[in-house]
A and B are shown apart, each in its own frame.
Chain A
Amino acid sequence: MAIVVVDGVEVEIGDGERLNGVQAARRAGIEIPHYCWHPGLSVVASCRMCLVESGKRDPATGQVTLLPKLVPACQTPATDGTVFVTQSDTVRQARAMVEEDLLIRHPIDCPICDKAGECSLQDYHFRYGRAERRADLRPFTSRRRTLGDTVSLFVDRCVMCSRCVRFCREVAGTSELMVAHRGAHEEIDVFPGFPLANRLSGNVVDLCPVGALADRDFLYQQRVWFMRSHKHVCAGCSTGCSIRIDTNQDRIHRLKPRANAAVNQWWMCDEGRYAFKHVHDASRIVEPRARVGNRWEARDWPSILDALRGRLADAPSITVVLSPHQTVEEAYLLAALARRHDPSARIVVGETPMRGADESFPTGFTIRAEKCPNRRGVERIAEGWNEAAGGSESSDDFGWSAFLAELDRGARPGAVWIAGGGPDGAVDPETALRLRRTPLLIVQSLFHNPLCDQADFVLPATAFAEREGSYVNATDRLQSFAWALRPPIGVEPDGPLYWKLLDRSGLYRGPVVLKEIAERWESFAAARGSIPETGLDLGGAVRPQSTRRPAAPVSTT
């Protein structure tokens, strides 16, 4: 066990760990300011903000010998006996010098800069900078240049930390960004005709410690201090990146990745980052509707709940189609609802939207082709319920295509409830027609789709940010989250809706339901304790993707 001393505080470092000064100090609760260092990128030690005094403690005598000069903490390994001094006068002067240097030419446009409020340069200046400006040079106004479809560069705000350049080289592997010119004339740029256009481009904005790189989608939309951040999980694909949803007044303004070594490292893809537009789409279904004869009638929730209860109770048999966009808890409750009315109700897992192929990046970050967050979680739920009813374990038994094939063979369930929640992947009209003879068809959807035309009840579905519960990602990692956004007026999120239909008392809360599930089934046994912020591995029962077959084209008869 190595012992490192940071400002007199002893920090223990595990045997296999390789930490630098910044990380070791963090363990001691001391923040060393830095711009260029990032745990996910190579070390360049060029911003010089993390300069500290360092030395060695003699193990025998306890005598500390400091080096005669400052060293960058990011480049100094924390080994046994290493001493860091982060609060001395020399260190303070060095920080003030770097801050002064960076601000010599930095435009004073904080009032219109998106980064203001979460800007390292701003924060460090208040904490470590000089009280007055000595340089009598006129700072530039900020020139703006478009680097690609997603990112704009405010050239003169840049502090040349080169994080974005290293990201494009080391993580995205596409090397679009470069440093042009030399010395104080340096600028970040792209080659003409080769814009910043990789699938991870938005990350350079997160990496930028100042306001130089701006997200074009977010530009001038919000002051950051007005927004509230909610920890959530991206629903864009089955990777399930840990994210933050930044909202203000019931609108999502941006998604940002959270660090999670087991899932997304520090990154997220552009597809996921900008996949929140549908949440605020004006064409969303925001009221429950019932079919009366040949027309739709909007109903209020109390009456529609009564109608649903009655019709489900009368149905001779029930099939529920769970959506892979639902959380584990919601899927569980919907299946429970079906089993309550029909002890042998069929539990089917809806179609998994697939697009393209998995794409892995040099550091292991993967964008998956399975464009839903929770197929594995919902399948575990379906398995659990089907086993409870003595069903077989074959996935084909509860697959969407198997269900359709059954319908074609003449099976006539008394009631079918099809859950939804995906932004797209609507069922095609032909498939929808195969369900037309169902006596009671309840469809939940975000947008109107062909299935709704066949339905007796259309209920608004829940968008990912409005959900509460857990997703199980492609590596069987369960991550829990609370809702980030209130749904539009008229939308009852899945969880509370099923909770009410089950006549349970109190309010729907994800953790309570997850506890119930974990107690009930071995496949969720790992979730019996508390769920860490970065999720936990459910382990076992890995169901390979290949066993799932796409819906076979069957002619409607």
Chain B
Amino acid sequence: MGEYEPVLLANVGVAGSHTRAVYESRGGYEGLRRALCDMSPADVTERVKASGLRGRGGAGFPTGLKWTFLDKKATPVYFCLNADESEPGTFNNRILMEEDPHQVLEGLILSCYATGARTAYYYMRYEYPLAWERTRAAIDECYAAGLLGSNLLGTGYALDVVLHRGAAAYICGEETGLIESLEGKRAWPRIKPPFPAIEGAFRKPTVVNNVETVSCVRQIIDRGVDWFRSLGVPPDPKNPRDAGSFGPKLYCLSGHVERPGCYEGPLGLTVRELIDRFGGGVWKGRRGKAAIPGGISMGLLREDEFDCPLDFNGPGRYGCLGLGTAAVVVMDETVSIVDVLHNSCRFFAHESCGQCTPCREGTAWAYKILQRIRAGHGRLLDIELLRGIGDTIGIMPGTTICGLADGAAWPIKNAIAKFRDEIETHIKTTNPGHYGATRPVPERHSAH
């Protein structure tokens, strides 16, 4: 593979890249002008569909297909831009919104044009003050330049963007949780059906797309379908349900590497390639021990699985949940998997919205078990308890409404499947003489 020239991050690092002047001087909004004049909304949708673009938010649902699910007869249609990037280890949306807010806006306008939305809700997480400031300024610039408002570039198409700031909850990144939160309610994900494309925000048809996804839409309109399909991994011919993994991807590399950061490459780079070529290898000359392939909810990879390609199917072949956000967190050999799992369970216990019983109680229970194991009161029985929780919560077994519980379950399942020896050793060495207990042990921590 030849040297890859970044496109999504092309403007990052350019002085003043967050202003419209710099953005336009580097070819910004040209695609939008052309599309608004020459292309019908159906053409845009068709082109996105042909490109094989899949959602970059984590689930990887084909974007063009999602747009076609919209109820054509119902009006208005709303577009929600999901900028509630909260998956641990993920920060590509932040880079885009801070360094190149106009690229996101151009993609957003194109997506709204394609879907016929006249109002777009830009749902940004609370923790991004700089992205908030720059996006707000960029929206103002667009209104001033006639790129937003009642008559876009004189074409008669009208679009308003409403910038909405979340209140810092992981669950608001779930699309129906986001919609509920947008409506001013608790972000309790909705039961589906109806899907948002039929009944979403304010009970109207709604599309929810990720920031990186709409940025890709802009690239597709700019550079064409062929360019997009030349990148990435074609569909597996043996799997008729595989839609392929085309296009560029922003990889977030963090953890124990020499050069953490957000790197762009075509879909399908392997974890090892990412660590060695972009990240400068595992830090301090140590060996890697494990990596998270795409945000903690996707599970864990062992060092010998680092050849896992980061496309929409790769991590699944290694027992992980999926590609997720392609946010790779690397752990070196000094890291205790018990600590990793403890941290992961704490996160999900804290972020579970509390609506479905299995997730609300299961995540909290898993966290408490891990607290006890870390405190030196583990039992071998606890591993089975944890695995039981991991196997039974989530939308995959059908026991919860949204996928948060699957994300909570996967690190548990993977850690036990791939690092069982280490966990057992930890329990045996920290709780000698008692690790075989099957009777409840006294509680170390208060219940809350």
Stretch from B8-16, B207-215, B219-227, B395-403 at the A interface: B395-403
A4 within 8 Å of B (CB atoms): no
- Residue A137 contacts which of B169, B357, B365 (CB distance < 8 angstroms)? B365
Stretch from A93-101, A360-368, A441-449, A472-480 at the B interface: A93-101
Q: Are the C-beta atoms of B357 and A98 separated by less than 8 Å?
A: yes
Min Cβ gap B415→A in Å is: 20
Residues in chain A near residue B440, CB distance under 8 A: 133, 135-136
Min Cβ gap A400→B in Å is: 52
Q: Are the C-beta atoms of B362 and A101 separated by less than 8 Å?
A: yes
Min Cβ gap B391→A in Å is: 10
Residues in chain B near residue A72, CB distance under 8 A: 191
A102 within 8 Å of B (CB atoms): yes
B282 within 8 Å of A (CB atoms): no
Within 8 A of B (CB), among A131-162: 133-140, 159-160
Residue of B nearest to A97 (CB): B392
Residue of A nearest to B394 (CB): A69
B358 within 8 Å of A (CB atoms): yes
Binary CB contact string for chain B from 106 to 149 against chain A (1 if under 8 A, 0 otherwise): 00000000000000000000000000000000000000000000
Q: Known: A183-B350, A183-B353. Contact between A101 and B361, CB under 8 A? A: yes
Q: Known: A134-B385, A183-B354, A184-B360. Contact between A46 and B401, CB under 8 A? A: yes
Q: Are the C-beta atoms of A46 and B356 separated by less than 8 Å?
A: yes
Q: Are the C-beta atoms of A70 and B399 separated by less than 8 Å?
A: yes
Q: Pick from B358, B372, B385 the residue with the most CB of A within 10 Å.
A: B358
Residues in chain A near residue B443, CB distance under 8 A: 136-138
Residue of B nearest to A90 (CB): B397
B1 within 8 Å of A (CB atoms): no
Residues in chain B near residue A93, CB distance under 8 A: 392
Q: Are the C-beta atoms of A101 and B365 separated by less than 8 Å?
A: yes
B26 within 8 Å of A (CB atoms): no
B51 within 8 Å of A (CB atoms): no
Residues in chain A near residue B400, CB distance under 8 A: 48
- Residue B368 contacts which of A75, A97, A101, A137 (CB distance < 8 angstroms)? A137
A458 within 8 Å of B (CB atoms): no
A67 to B191 CA separation, bound complex (whole angstroms): 17
Binary CB contact string for chain B from 324 to 356 against chain A (1 if under 8 A, 0 otherwise): 000000000000000000000000011111111
Q: Are the C-beta atoms of B447 and A160 separated by less than 8 Å?
A: no
A51 within 8 Å of B (CB atoms): yes
Q: Known: A46-B401, A101-B358. Contact between A182 and B363, CB under 8 A? A: no
Q: Known: A136-B441, A140-B447. Contact between A48 and B357, CB under 8 A? A: yes
Min Cβ gap B159→A in Å is: 33
Residue of B nearest to A181 (CB): B354
Interface residues on B, range: 35 or more
A134 to B379 CA separation, bound complex (whole angstroms): 12
Residues in chain A near residue B360, CB distance under 8 A: 101, 160, 183-184, 186
B277 within 8 Å of A (CB atoms): no
A140 to B356 CA separation, bound complex (whole angstroms): 21
Q: Are the C-beta atoms of B361 and A102 separated by less than 8 Å?
A: yes
Min Cβ gap B363→A in Å is: 7
A185 to B362 CA separation, bound complex (whole angstroms): 13
Residue of B nearest to A140 (CB): B447
Q: Are the C-beta atoms of B365 and A183 separated by less than 8 Å?
A: no
A94 to B399 CA separation, bound complex (whole angstroms): 8
Q: Known: A134-B385, A136-B441. Contact between A97 and B358, CB under 8 A? A: yes
Interface residues on A, range: 35 or more
Q: Known: A183-B351, A184-B352. Contact between A49 and B398, CB under 8 A? A: no
Q: Are the C-beta atoms of B399 and A184 separated by less than 8 Å?
A: no
A358 to B340 CA separation, bound complex (whole angstroms): 62
Q: Are the C-beta atoms of B353 and A182 separated by less than 8 Å?
A: yes
- Residue A160 contacts which of B357, B362, B396, B441 (CB distance < 8 angstroms)? B357
B320 within 8 Å of A (CB atoms): no
B364 within 8 Å of A (CB atoms): yes
Binary CB contact string for chain B from 183 to 213 against chain A (1 if under 8 A, 0 otherwise): 0001010010000000000000000000000
B448 within 8 Å of A (CB atoms): yes
Q: Are the C-beta atoms of B365 and A104 separated by less than 8 Å?
A: yes
Residue of A nearest to B186 (CB): A179
A105 within 8 Å of B (CB atoms): yes
Within 8 A of B (CB), among A21-49: 43-49
Within 8 A of B (CB), among A164-206: 179, 181-186
Q: Are the C-beta atoms of B351 and A94 separated by less than 8 Å?
A: no
Q: Known: A94-B392, A184-B349, A186-B354. Contact between A69 and B397, CB under 8 A? A: yes
A415 within 8 Å of B (CB atoms): no
A47 to B354 CA separation, bound complex (whole angstroms): 10
Min Cβ gap A433→B in Å is: 62
Binary CB contact string for chain A from 108 to 147 against chain B (1 if under 8 A, 0 otherwise): 0000000000000000000000000111111110000000
Residues in chain A near residue B191, CB distance under 8 A: 43-45, 72, 75
A480 to B45 CA separation, bound complex (whole angstroms): 65
Residues in chain B near residue A98, CB distance under 8 A: 357-358, 399
Residue of B nearest to A98 (CB): B357
A43 to B190 CA separation, bound complex (whole angstroms): 10
Q: Are the C-beta atoms of B364 and A48 separated by less than 8 Å?
A: no
Residues in chain B near residue A101, CB distance under 8 A: 357-358, 360-362, 365
A45 to B189 CA separation, bound complex (whole angstroms): 11
Min Cβ gap B185→A in Å is: 10
Q: Known: A69-B395, A70-B398. Contact between A48 and B358, CB under 8 A? A: yes
Residues in chain B near residue A139, CB distance under 8 A: 447
A135 to B382 CA separation, bound complex (whole angstroms): 10
Q: Are the C-beta atoms of A71 and B398 separated by less than 8 Å?
A: yes
Residue of B nearest to A67 (CB): B398
**With A69-B395, A138-B447 given, can you name 15 additional A-B contacts, CB distance below 8 Å?**
A46-B356, A47-B357, A49-B357, A94-B399, A101-B358, A101-B360, A104-B364, A135-B440, A136-B441, A136-B443, A137-B447, A138-B443, A182-B169, A183-B353, A185-B354
Which residue numbers of A lie inside 8 Å of B, CB to CB?
43-49, 51, 67, 69-72, 75, 93-94, 97-98, 101-102, 104-105, 133-140, 159-160, 179, 181-186
**A-B CB contact pairs (8 Å), 6 listed:** A101-B357, A101-B361, A102-B357, A136-B372, A136-B443, A179-B186
Which residue numbers of B lie inside 8 Å of A, CB to CB?
169, 186, 188, 191, 349-358, 360-365, 368, 372, 385, 392, 395-401, 440-441, 443, 447-448
Across the A-B interface, the 4 shortest Cβ-Cβ residue pairs: A136-B440, A69-B398, A184-B364, A70-B398
